[in-house]
Structure 1
Amino acid sequence: MNLQNTFGPQAASHLRLIGMALLWGASWPSGRIVAQHMPPLAASGLRFVLAAVVLLVWLYAAGGMGGLRQWPPKRWLGMVAAAATGVFGYAACFLSGLQYLPASKAALVITLNPVLTLLLAAWIFRERINRTIALGMALAALGAVLVISHGDPAQLLAGGLGQGELLILGCVACWVSYTLLGRAILAGVDALSTTAVTATIGAVMLLAASLVAEGPQGMAQAFNAGLPAWGALLFLAWGSTALAYAWYFDGVKALGAGAASGYITLVPVIGVACSALWLGEQIDASMLAGGAMAIAGTVVMNWGRRTPRAVAAAAAAR
């Protein structure tokens, strides 16, 4: 059966984006497995070494290596800053947080990413936020607060955040910083080059930090972890990093960034489902209610961001 004849010319791209969401969602329970058996910095360093090898080969095959020689020092400094936030900071907080927090809960906390990104973009880049976007942001933020506080927001005012919650909120801060840095100083760089270079620089940072903070025994412990931990680590490196990014880039190229990013809304849902199925994690009422609100808020935000473009396109067509 011909997929394009049956489902249309862009069906393959849609299916790859669904695969991307599945891989990113499954990264949460996989990360939880790794975090229970390996030191977080050593494991993160190995993950990005393995991912960087694939990404650099992909970049070479795409003919992008030659362009790196033409980059000015300012762009390389931008890459170092992006690697420090989007790879080193995020990866370290990701596995460190999953030592203390269930994967399902952590996956829902990450729904704060687009809320904080839009708020800071409005402040720094003067992006406009319409009423629909503001409603979605409020809904997503309230849902995340319910998840973090176990359904009791007053806990947050009393300093009720645990170490795991703080570390996953660190993931949010790092990813938002990475996104805004990319917009400010990495304009004009293709996504594959950015990902390959930042993954490589971040891997070096993580390995150096592991050697300082965990010592040689940290890497030895990682190498001596069992097959389940190594299977999860290889999945994180080659599945949820290299392959998922390849499918995401294909979706952006074929369908546009807005349509492709809409599939990211599926990630926390898949993360919660995989964590419950694979790890037997319990999903309480506050997670269900807060998660539903956070995901609905993200959908409303995406819809609000597209609405002005649709209106403008319709006006131009008249």
Structure 2
Amino acid sequence: MRIFARTRTGVAAALGSAVLFGGSTPFAKALLGEVSPWLMAGLLYLGVGIGLGALRLVTAIRAGQPGEAPLRRGDLGWLAAIVLFGGVAGPLLLMVGLTYTPAASAALLLNLEGLATLGIAWLVYRENVDLRIGIGAAAILLGAMILSWQGGIDGLNRGSLAIAAACLCWGIDNNLTRKLSAADPVQIATIKGLVAGIVNVGLALSVGSALPDGWRIAQAMTIGLVGYGISLVLFIHGLRHLGAARTGAYFSLAPFMGAAVAVFAFGDAMTPQLGIAAGLMGIGLYLHLAERHEHDHHHKERIHEHAHSHDIHHQHDHAPADPPGEPHVHLHRHAPMIHRHPHFPDIHHRHRH
């Protein structure tokens, strides 16, 4: 059934996003001795914008027709907010926080992003978060915190507050991106990467950061393309199929992925923390994957545009100009419907409970 196929796609995308982002962290850390943190953030985002922009251009030329719905005029306000919170304010606050906060404390505090994402999705957008999902998310988050723990955390200071504010910005960013998850993820990530990269590189150079040699720039931008760009595209696919709360919970696995890469690729020691974190995250994953949410729900009439196939939610007529084959993209109408089946808060099931 296509509904379950979409769910599996969403889970795989969210986990893939966590793997790429978490796995890229040790590689980015290896460059930090030669590149300032703020400039590094800018170069990572430039890699996203330039790399994905080139990929999108080549794909468009070869395909001949769009595989995803493009952003429209009405999306620009949401996109501007996403870039502001996730691409500019979040990295800037993180750089400020790192100036005053030890690395161990910062690593622990950064896990607040998952909590912020889930909390906003639940409290503001009213995504369904039952006891099973709440316990699963808590287990994943606790595993990430244990993994980051290195002997204590300083009391609240300006650095800690700045990092917590950065996590809040990224939680807002994740939930706002959910608003655009039906649109082309590569286009969203490209624009966000270009704007955030130019702003952060410009700010870093204005405060005296020196550009590294061309090889280091290429390395940073490549890490950004894979660990931030492709990861963001997968994250948006996860939002499309699972909603913000569940995608954010899966993404909280990123610290574990980073630690695993550090152990197997960089020779870091295997620690009891890693084993405990793996166990807790495994429990959290099981609780999420075993979820079955089913009840009578009402689909209101809706007209929108996104890549789709003709399943139980897409039974509509086509105009002569609409593209053939499936999946395809065109503006289409959903008739009002009341039915019952297992579902997640994807782009067609964001209803109140």
1:292 maps onto 2:278 in alignment: yes
Paired amino acid for 2:203: A
Change (3 A) 1:232 1:302: farther
1:202 maps onto 2:196 in alignment: yes
Q: Give the unaligned 5+ runs of structure 1.
A: 1-10
Change (3 A) 1:85 1:288: farther
Conservation of the 8 A alpha-carbon contact between 1:136 and 1:301: yes
- Structure 2 partner of 1:29: 26
1:224 maps onto 2:241 in alignment: no
Q: Give the unaligned 5+ runs of structure 2.
A: 1-7, 298-311, 313-338, 343-353
Q: Number of aligned pairs? A: 286
- Structure 2 partner of 1:116: 116
Paired amino acid for 2:25: W
- With normalisation by structure 2, the TM-score equals 0.61
Per-residue CA deviation, residues 183-227 of structure 1 (Å, 9 max, x unaligned), is 45x465332222122112212221232133x23xx1xx33238x5
User: Where is the helix percentage greater, Structure 1 or Structure 2?
Assistant: 1
- Structure 2 partner of 1:101: 103
Paired amino acid for 2:33: Q
How far residue 264 of structure 1 moved from its aligned partner, in angstroms, is: 4.4
Query: Partners of 2:197 and 2:145 in 1: how far apart?
Result: 32
Paired amino acid for 1:175: W
1:271 maps onto 2:245 in alignment: no
Query: Partners of 1:14 and 1:140 in 2: how far apart?
Result: 15
Conservation of the 8 A alpha-carbon contact between 1:136 and 1:296: no
How far residue 26 of structure 1 moved from its aligned partner, in angstroms, is: 1.9
Conservation of the 8 A alpha-carbon contact between 1:265 and 1:299: no
How far residue 81 of structure 1 moved from its aligned partner, in angstroms, is: 1.8
Paired amino acid for 1:224: D
How far residue 237 of structure 1 moved from its aligned partner, in angstroms, is: 2.3
Higher relative contact order, chain-length normalized (CA < 8 Å, sep 6+): 1
1:307 maps onto 2:312 in alignment: no
Change (3 A) 1:18 1:240: same
Change (3 A) 1:300 1:177: farther
- Structure 2 partner of 1:5: none
- Structure 2 partner of 1:178: 173
Per-residue CA deviation, residues 112-166 of structure 1 (Å, 9 max, x unaligned), is 43333222222112233211122223334444454555466xx56xx17895x76
Alignment of 1:77-96 (within 5 A): 77-92=77-92
Paired amino acid for 1:117: T
Query: Partners of 1:145 and 1:161 in 2: how far apart?
Result: 19
Query: Partners of 1:16 and 1:139 in 2: how far apart?
Result: 20
How far residue 275 of structure 1 moved from its aligned partner, in angstroms, is: 1.7
Change (3 A) 1:296 1:247: closer
Change (3 A) 1:309 1:95: farther
Change (3 A) 1:111 1:301: farther
How far residue 301 of structure 1 moved from its aligned partner, in angstroms, is: 5.7
Q: CA RMSD in A?
A: 4.6
How far residue 54 of structure 1 moved from its aligned partner, in angstroms, is: 2.2
Change (3 A) 1:138 1:52: closer
Identity %: 18
Query: Partners of 1:230 and 1:246 in 2: how far apart?
Result: 22
User: Where is the strand percentage greater, Structure 1 or Structure 2?
Assistant: 2
- With normalisation by structure 1, the TM-score equals 0.67
Conservation of the 8 A alpha-carbon contact between 1:265 and 1:298: no
Change (3 A) 1:59 1:295: same
Conservation of the 8 A alpha-carbon contact between 1:85 and 1:175: yes
